[in-house]
């Protein structure tokens, strides 16, 4: 698997494009906001001859869905997410306006739900879904045991963890899920978070002040 990171919008969301030797790819959390960022994403895909086959979300907070409509329409893909975050969709525009951002539309509804232990397949590759409520109720991470990679959304960051004070957030669940489900992964697993630099499970196990 090849992972490419594009950082988008005022919140600097990491949009991940994960491809394999077949040229198929998945797009995780399309945060692209506005024409320039949309073009940056499309140019990256076309320059690498990549074919997007799935549009998936770690969760549906505003900063992770700015480009969902664009990607969905341009590549004819239905968004995929955990059902417990679906309630964010009809309130996205209102949320954006609280931050002074005008959106023309809410993101499109999901075409497929991703639940715990589901497999996200593309090309010859597969990622398994890990449900991690706490930052948001429908927060999920994507893990490959073969490649030892984890896309962690806003649950786990380098030296930090996600906030739990947004609607549906819960601090205790967040900490328990991180400790029981993520810290149990092999130490060499490379973690790709929703914001900021990549890290590893081993590094966080010994250095993250929230989970030591």
Q: Toward Zn ion, which CB reaches closer, 166 or 190? A: 166
Beta carbon of residue 40, minimum distance to Zn ion (angstroms, whole number): 19
What phi-psi label fits residue 21: left (phi over 0), alpha (psi between -120 and 50 degrees) or beta?
alpha
Beta carbon of residue 63, minimum distance to Zn ion (angstroms, whole number): 4
Q: Toward Zn ion, which CB reaches closer, 17 or 174? A: 174
Residue numbers at the binding site for Zn ion (CB under 5 A): 61, 63, 154, 194
Which residues share a beta bridge with 160? 157
DSSP 11-59: TTEEEEEEE-TTSEEEEE-----HHHHHHHHHHHHHHTT-EEEEEE-S-
Q: Toward Zn ion, which CB reaches closer, 52 or 153? A: 153
Helix, strand or coil, per DSSP, at residue 70: helix
Beta carbon of residue 188, minimum distance to Zn ion (angstroms, whole number): 25
Beta carbon of residue 51, minimum distance to Zn ion (angstroms, whole number): 27
- Alpha-carbon distance 15 to 136, whole Å? 18
- Alpha-carbon distance 19 to 48, whole Å? 10
Q: Toward Zn ion, which CB reaches closer, 23 or 167? A: 167
């Amino acid at each position: 698997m090849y992972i490419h990171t594009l950082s988008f919008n005022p919140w600097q969301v990491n949009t991940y494009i994960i491809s394999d030797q077949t040229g198929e790819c998945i797009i995780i959390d399309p945060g692209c906001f506005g024409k320039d960022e949309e073009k940056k994403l499309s140019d990256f895909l076309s320059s690498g001859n990549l074919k997007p086959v799935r549009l998936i979300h770690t969760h549906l907070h505003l900063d992770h869905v700015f480009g969902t409509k664009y990607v969905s329409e341009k590549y004819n893909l239905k968004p995929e997410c955990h059902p417990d975050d679906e309630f964010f969709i009809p309130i996205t525009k209102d949320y954006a306006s609280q931050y002074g951002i005008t959106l023309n539309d809410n993101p499109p509804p999901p075409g497929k739900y991703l639940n715990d232990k589901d497999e996200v397949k593309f090309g010859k590759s597969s990622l398994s879904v890990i449900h991690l409520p706490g930052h948001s109720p429908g927060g999920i991470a994507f893990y490959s045991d073969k490649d030892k990679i984890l896309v962690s959304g806003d649950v786990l960051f380098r030296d930090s963890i996600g906030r739990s004070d947004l609607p549906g957030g819960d601090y205790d669940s967040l900490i328990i899920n991180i400790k029981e489900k993520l810290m149990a992964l092999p130490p060499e697993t490379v973690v790709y978070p929703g914001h900021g630099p990549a890290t590893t499970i081993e590094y966080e196990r010994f250095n993250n002040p929230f989970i030591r």
